[in-house]
């Protein structure tokens, strides 16, 4: 099996997978949290990205909430 290096470790290519959705990842093409790999989108963004941006643009909150 082909070896890839990511997060300071060597992996078999099929073993480098997103902790949430189990998608196979590429070396350097993913995010990390607590030493575990995640696909950038949607998993890392949904789990660890900024929260509440939808409220500011009217998707579940009121338009113009910045000034409220």
The ranges assigned to domains in the chain are 3-48
The fold adopted by the segment(s) 3-48 is 2.10.110
pLDDT in tens, 3-43: 999 999 999 999 999 999 999 998 888 999 999 999 998 99
Q: Are 37 and 19 in contact (CB under 8 A)?
A: yes
Q: What is the per-residue pLDDT for 21? A: 96
pTM for this one?
0.68
Query: Closest Cα partner for 13 from 29, 4, 5, 22?
Result: 4
């Amino acid at each position: 099996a082909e070896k890839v290096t990511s997060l300071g470790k060597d992996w078999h290519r099929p073993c480098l997978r997103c902790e949430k959705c189990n998608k196979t990842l590429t070396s350097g093409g993913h995010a990390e949290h607590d030493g575990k790999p995640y696909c950038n989108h949607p998993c890392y963004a949904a789990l660890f990205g900024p929260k509440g941006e939808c409220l500011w643009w009217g998707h579940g909150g009121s338009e113009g909430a910045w000034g409220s």
